[in-house]
Structure 1
């Protein structure tokens, strides 16, 4: 039987079901999309924030070591002396110790700092090595690594030195365990070159816990986590995997390819690992390392699933309530109709007996009650009652209109309060961002100012020294050239004199020839005298003795002349060699030494020009200081912006307070109108009670 009761219940259930399906489906779809999008954005934002935090640490470390390397190079005034003079190297090392210690103390997480020299022209343990056991202790100077005990190809022990030098570029090294203090370290090394010569390296060892603590503190959902790899996708820090694990393995699926694709940075990418689908978001840090965040997809989207279940549950509860209410409402609606139908049937049968439970029927305010009270003798009374009801209705309508107006005002105030609150929140966020920017700028200004001050002071001293050395070099070169010119003239004169003396030797040769001829004649004369003495017999014996002595004298003279000739030949050879040497010496002085001194004078002039250029560099440094002053002015502007934002926030708070007071007044008016409506309802109840049957 299609009764009115069943029709009302069916219609109510269908409307409720249709409404629940439409609203629930839209709610589930919309909330799922919004929740999933916000989950991905939250993961990406977390990755960017942690990357920014790590890059800030990396940037400070690089800035510290790069500045230290620049200071190290600028303080080397003589590259050749550094290569050849161990005393110069020691004095330079002692002068740098205080500077290196200051840089190490002002670098976050620094456990050691070192300045090592090229072992090709310095001692194998030369340089500085400062180390401490933890970031709270003091640095101590220890003996540096002995290069002579390792081959340059031994990257495990001395790769920290030779790799940056060969690459001629600053290098971040992978973390390693320092067995002496049982701490993982990561190193940043900068090679030092001066005038094209490799001087050595400057480096710092940083406590790797500085990076690991940031990574380990990051918790994503229930089982999500962050991990760190090097540029080759080898694990450096991971929740479950040991350091050194390569991600280029089949068990990690396409994770290695994702990390090698730079277009995937700061985006959410899905991959499979251990039969589980995960979302990954990674960023490449300033030192080439990669920070990755990963979490199971079901955990990331668990909020949307939970919200969908809640919406479905709410829809089911709404359907049950609708079913229950439709049953109750249909029963209450059909019961008086059934009673009224019974009265009408009795009336059609001219049965006017009093019916039980009629008071409940007459008390109804709907059409059924009106029909039950429709008695001919009460028509005039009903007109009066209707008039009274109309007046009360107008009063209620007026009050309801007032209530609607007040409600609209309250809604507008609430919307204004919400907008003001959002503006206040945005102002606070802007204030926070500006404060962070100011902090970074102030830190950079402090560091840059200290560095520029040091460079300016050193530059002024070096400029003065360079000018003095240039002038001294030029003066000494001019004096040396003048002295060399004098030596050249003296050698030239002595060379000419030696050539003349060589001609005297030729005269001696002529004299020795004359003496040799005389000796020959004397020998011939002695021979003739001996012949004549022999002819004379005994009378010529005395003459024979004289002749014999003359012959002996002639023989000795001849031998002496030979000896003199031999000595003269040696003297002649010596004079010839000396003359040749003097000629070569004069040519060397004229063509080489004097030319070199001319070049030295040109170099001295160039040295002076370089000194002027150095002074120009000091002017550039002065301009850099002015740039820092402009940066300080920008920071002041940022501070003024913060003050303006805070003032706007204060104004917003005052505005909220005023509107809250207006809302309180509006609430009071609403209460008054509600009391008025209550009185009207009481009046209506009195009118309804006037409907009684005799």
Structure 2
């Protein structure tokens, strides 16, 4: 963190050392006085924004992704450390339960119950060994039920006559049927949770055996567990009481009404762990991982504060601000230089266009005029090439293989060369336009002669008109033959319509039959699915039976163990326990038979399960084949429907053909009548040829007007020549043009 602050301070010092006055635009520029707005600053701002937007976008998404990763890492650490604490508690409870069970099977308890001398001392030693051998076990108890025996314990009870107050679990433990965990209680200033079980003598409870789980040790583990920078572990009872927390002021508080505790209390899920979010704890910035210990009624929470990542977030933001400032500075400098080059090129272009507007076509662009922007880069470049420019200032500095600026200048200069050549050509050719006018006069005379030839052509048109009349009569006869052919077509189409109707009826019957097959097949598929579901239910019932058989097997094992213990005890009893030993042996034999029967049942169940699995697989294969059959039936239905649609279209087309034939018959008479009209029109065309002859005379008069317009063209040519002479061109090009012969000029004009 200190290193980042130091780097940030160095960057601010270096920024303050920059001489920003060097970046101000030069007033000299290209030497062109501007009375208009410049695009330099808009371009600079636009390019800066364009370069800055991707950087800001990348930083924004990087910030989001970094924050997400850090949050996930903190939540993963919550889960890991919380799970470690829960694992420690589970191991401690398992060890306590195992200790109680093993101690309950110890024969020393029978000796204590029988009042054998020294038995209580041995039991006390074993209890001391238990409490000192496990750091999570504080004390162990053997509390007999009766007034003639003493309590054996590793703890010092203040008032043995009032055990129910010091040991609140004693009453419920003496009436239970097995292992039982108590609620947390306090004894001798320390928090404990007791695991106990009753000891039976026949049908009566003769004592209670218990072990205290030392919760003070667990509190130390919780205090030592660190989550990230601000996180901690807290342990609650099912009632919301804080049992352990690094903040000792919270121990004993009731958090049952807190939102996060209400959330896990109201959850209907069977899961004993998960992540929840609470606005009061950390503003829902981080999840609260919880894991329950249902065996002893505890819930362990791992949580961090709202400002867990404040230092990391501050460092990231400062780093991003540094990057943004550096990007803005670089983008502004680069954009300013780029805009300067653009405005320099624009000013040079405006200068040369101004000279062209004044009629000067001799000037050309040069690279040093285009890039005339006073910035450090260009000034250094100019300084390096100063000697070469001064040595040959008249030489063109454009490189045909140079960059885009060179290419722009070369293309512009070539355009100006072409424009100058065009003006030179106009100046040279304007004097020949008058000669062309004389040629046009001759063409007008030729046009008059051609007009007389047109009159002769009109006579030929009249002869062709009579031939047209004869062809019209022949066409009328052919129309009658066409009418007869159309009648035959109508009869054939009617026959086709009858066949199409029969085909549509048969196809409709086929569609109905296929639909019935499809419906029956779907019902069969439904029946197969029901059969498969029923087989799966039977398989589930078999699995339940298997669970029952496993329970019977466990009972048989325990019965066998009990019979073994009974045999041992009978052996100790000597002659008095011989009958009991026979009973124990019979019980062991029955237990072995029960275990063997359970194994046989399990083998049968496995066989039934395998067969039911094969049947389900076979039904699934049949179901897959059925799907293919269903698709084929659907394709057949679609094909039949397509055939019906095509037949309907065919019938519609035949109806259209019949209607069209009727229309043709109706129009036949009209066509014959029109052909007769055409013949009459041909006669009228003959009369029209006389009118065309009269129009030819009018054309001759028009040609005289055309001749007068040619004279006006000569005047326009003179005006064009004067206009072209206003442009200033290279004298060398003008002399080259004058040296060309007249034939070349005429050819160029054409």
TM-score interval (norm. to shorter)? 0.3 to 0.5
TM-score (norm 1): 0.45
